[in-house]
Amino acid sequence: MNIESLIFYGVPIYLIFMGILVVLTTKNLFKMLLGLSLMDSGINVLIVALGYVKGGTTPIFSEYPKIYEKVVDPVPPALVLTAIVIGLAFLGLGLSIAIRIKEKYGTVNVEKLKELKW
Amino acid sequence: MVNPILIIAFLLLFAFLMPLLALLHKRLPSVVALLLPAFNLYVGVTYFLKMEFIPLIIKTGGFRPPFGINLAIDHFSLFFLILVNVVALFIAFSYLLEEQDYKFHMLFLLNLLGASGIILTGDLFNSFVFLEIFAISAYALAASKREKHALEGAVKYLVVGSIGSSFYLLGVFLLYKVTGSLNMAFIASSLQGEKSGIVYLAGMFMLFGLFVETELFPLNTWAPDVYQGAYNRIAAQFSSIISKAAIYLMFRIVFFLFDDPLFYKLLIVMGIITFVIAEFNALVQKDLKRMLGYSSIGQMGLAVLAFALYGITSHPEAFFTALLLVVNHAISKAMIFTNLENMPEYAQVDTGKANPFSSLMFTVGALSVMGFPFTLGFWAKIEVLGILLRSNILWLFFLILILFMVEAFYYFRVISNLMRSEVVSVKLNPLLTVSLVVFALFLLYQGFYPVQTFIWTNKALNAFLNKAIYISTITGGL
């Protein structure tokens, strides 16, 4: 367990757990959505870290491609772009629903949403 | 023979053309929302009848698999495509005459796009993207009725669904890390044999994400609230399109990628817990829509249980039963939920007024969900019991039998109250009447003479069980 892998895998996992912790402990719907967004970011960072190759450079071939050079895996960063956009769409929708809740209930406290039980 | 990729392209194009179409004419969006499922259905049926036994690969961007994204189409995916689009056509046709905002049709088409994409794709990351399209449009649909109940259900669904989708993505990338590919067939071929622990972790994460949409036990707390709060047509969509596309993905992933006893055992446990909790909760409900929502959850649990029994006992009949249950549940629940439009004064389980036609339609749908003889559901439910007897799992046999009786009890309670309720005259929607009668006749006719359904289901089943052909067709292109 060297310090590099600790940073690469520890930080995103910490972010994910912090996001889940925020979702579980807060009563404010707005903060809950921020926690979900934090968790999304943590997962995106973790995915980029999964594609890292030790000592690798960016996977861009210049005019004379040096095949023997190590490059990092290009697939995860490319797909994380898609995941980031999806997260943005989710956050926008969630905030719009939160605004509606504020209109109807007069509060964004989740404990007050007690219309439906069992 | 139309290229199946046009399904996805047309849905995407027309979903975002909706504002312009609404400017041209007020009624145009609802007509387009009717034509697109019909087109999908045409494509699905022609391919289903004419296709060879080997799966078809649709390349995109000129890349051979495993590079790029490909659609992998076999009879199994076409079977689900037909099922989903039949229900979508049914819903769109029933509400053709209603005055509705174009945004509603936009979300409907986006949701259908997500469902069709999940069913057609052969690429894991692409399945995640479609899952998200489908989930985000589902959150918006659940919140579309601007009332307290609908918003509350939508918020619960949004929080749970978002966590589930994120974990699904994490699972996909852990698999990518292990196998070095995102194509389903390549992953399946490299996962055969010994599996490392990280593969199990990835599978657990992916199942965790899929449990949300399939309404299985730990993550289904949102479902009754959404069913109670949403419009009737959206409840029908949740019951018959959203959960069905998600259960397709669950079948694909668990059987194709992992095919491991651990996951089957997990699904059996979760299926039983879901079924028990949902049936006993439905028994004590006061609100009719909430009761039907719990019943939906229970049926999904039963279908997953039948599928997992196949993994444990290797009886192909068990999987056949799971498919029959899915078909029966999709059609009968779509009928029941859209029929609630005709019963506006019957919101509670035990009091209310209804008119004879809607009572009759409710009765046919409910009998099919329960598995009463001479309806399609009978063949599915009797098969479940038969398989449990043949595999000598007696405790489960008696448990399921008791739960079927519980189910019959709460449905018959509603039916008997409908028989005795005051007659009230409701202005019937003519198109809804036509489509309800067509579905009811289908259920009854297939109950008497289920050969056609059995043949189609068998075709899908054979395509699904021949994993080796699927894998070798796609990976052999290299």
User: What is the model's pLDDT at position A63?
Assistant: 63
pLDDT at residue B63 tops 80: no
Q: Identify the residue whose tokens are 């041209």.
A: B24
Nearest Cα of chain A lies from the Cα of B284 at a distance, in angstroms, of 9
Q: How many CA atoms lie within 13 A of A102 on its CB side?
A: 10
User: Is the CB of residue A21 less than 8 Å away from at least one CB of chain B?
Assistant: no
Q: Which residues of B touch A90 (CB under 8 A)?
A: 132, 136, 158, 162
Q: Which residues of A touch B176 (CB under 8 A)?
A: 50, 75-76
Q: Which residues of B touch A36 (CB under 8 A)?
A: 159, 162-163, 166
Cβ separation A50–B281 shorter than 8 A? no
| Average pLDDT along chain B | 86
Cβ separation A116–B281 shorter than 8 A? no
Nearest Cα of chain B lies from the Cα of A22 at a distance, in angstroms, of 12
User: Is the CB of residue A94 less than 8 Å away from at least one CB of chain B?
Assistant: yes
Per cent of chain B over pLDDT 90 is 11
Tokens found for residue B121: 């794709």
User: What is the model's pLDDT at position A35?
Assistant: 92
- Residue A62's pLDDT band (boundaries 50, 70, 90)? low
Nearest Cα of chain B lies from the Cα of A64 at a distance, in angstroms, of 24
pLDDT in tens, B188-225: 888 887 778 888 888 899 898 889 888 888 888 888 88
Q: Which residues of B touch A116 (CB under 8 A)?
A: 149, 152-153, 224-225, 228-229
Type of residue at B452? Q
Query: Please, which residues 51-80 of chain A have a Cβ atom closer than 8 Å to chain B?
Result: 75-76, 79
Q: Which residues of A touch B158 (CB under 8 A)?
A: 90, 93-94, 97
Q: Identify the residue whose tokens are 């029933």.
A: B94
Cβ separation B281–A118 shorter than 8 A? yes
User: What is the model's pLDDT at position A65?
Assistant: 58
Nearest Cα of chain B lies from the Cα of A29 at a distance, in angstroms, of 9
Q: Mutate one of A21, A97, A107, A114 to test the B interface: name it (highest B CB count within 10 A).
A: A97
pLDDT in tens, A18-39: 999 998 898 888 899 999 999 9
> Average pLDDT of A47-66?
74
Q: Which residues of A touch B146 (CB under 8 A)?
A: 100, 104
Q: Mutate one of A93, A96, A99 to test the B interface: name it (highest B CB count within 10 A).
A: A93
Angle, alpha carbons B134-B121-B190 (nearest 5°): 125
User: What is the model's pLDDT at position A84?
Assistant: 92
Give the pTM. 0.91
Tokens found for residue B341: 């439009």
pLDDT in tens, B88-130: 999 888 888 877 788 888 898 999 999 999 998 888 888 999 9
pLDDT in tens, B276-333: 998 888 888 888 888 888 999 998 999 998 888 888 888 888 888 899 999 999 999 9
User: Is the CB of residue A49 less than 8 Å away from at least one CB of chain B?
Assistant: no
Q: Which residues of B touch A41 (CB under 8 A)?
A: none
Q: For residue B284, how many other CB atoms are within 10 A of its CB?
A: 11
